[in-house]
Structures are given as structure tokens and as C-alpha cells.
Amino acid sequence: MMLEKFEASVRMLLNSVPAMTLATCANGTAWATDVYFAAYGYELVFFSSPASRHCKNLNANPACAATVHPEAASWRDIRGLQMDGLAEPVETVEAKARALTAYFTKFPFARDLMSNPGNLASKFGDVSAHVFRPSRIRYLDNTLGFGTRLAIRLENGMPAGPPEHEAV
């Protein structure tokens, strides 16, 4: 698979699947949680409470992994992304604006939550933007044959070479 087709397949999944499973680990204990996310290039933005278990884990250890996949009725339909990298709170004003723009574009309801003075808006105010930056993306697609998995390494948010076949 050429890089352009790989990137198109990855972008399609990142744009069409609303939630990723984020796996964190701290003090030798693993934790996984689902979070809504929006992609900005290969950066995945999510909003979470700093008091949540996964954010506390990320503060202790920013190394994490994530998966993104649509529902599959059969093993033949399984396709998705497996990623590892680092996640951290979004700090700069520019990065926060980029995060909000990406998130509101994918999830217009979130803008409504922030502008509505109701109970949900107050809960949304208790969260902060975080960004997951993958260092490796594995694309699994059983529609291309059982166990078809290609991977790329990312350096500074850009592919460091063409996709390579990986053993399952």
C-alpha cells in the first residue's frame, strides 16, 4: 500500500469514528477509557477532567496507546488503528484554539454545550483539552485479507517512511 492510500485510510477512520479507546498506565496498573476525539493532522484532541483516572495516569506517565475502529459484525470486517505515543494537556493559546476548532468541527453539539448555561455546560467547563501524539500508527484491515496490518513511524507528526507490513 502506498503512503497516500495509507494516509487516506487513516484519515477516513479518524474522521468517521467518534471515540478512541485510550490506554494509560501508572504505578504498574493499566487503565483504558473511551473518549471522543477529533484529529488535527495526526494529533488527536480529546477533552477530559484533570481529575479523571486517565488524566492522572498521563500526568504520572505520558506514554499511552489508543485504538480507533468502527463496529464490525464479523472478523472479516475488522479494520482500525492501533497507535502508541504520548499524551499531554494542551498548553498554548494557539494549540487550544486549534483543539477547539477541530473538536467543534467534528462535534457541533460540543459548541452548543459550551454556549448553553445549563447543567451540561457547567460540566464541560470542568474539562481541559489534551492531545495524543502517536509515534507509530498500525492500520489493520481484514477486508484486505486476514491479519493485514501496515505500520508507519511518525517523526514530528509526519510519516518517517512508507507503510511497512507487520506480523499480527
Q: How confident is the model at residue 166 (pLDDT cuts 50, 70, 90)?
A: confident
- pTM of the model as a whole: 0.89
What is the set of domains in the chain, with CATH numbers?
Answer: 3-165 (2.30.110.10)
Q: C-alpha 49: how far from its chain's center?
A: 16
Residue 145 has pLDDT above 90, yes or no: no
**In the 3-class helix/strand/coil scheme, how is 7-46 assigned residue by residue?**
HHHHHHHHHHCCEEEEEEEECCEEEEEEEECEEECCEEEE
Average pLDDT of every residue of the chain:
90
- Percent of the chain topping pLDDT 70: 91
Cα angle at 58 between 52 and 63, to 5 degrees? 145
* Stretch 111-128: mean pLDDT: 62
Q: For residue 121, what pLDDT is reported?
A: 46
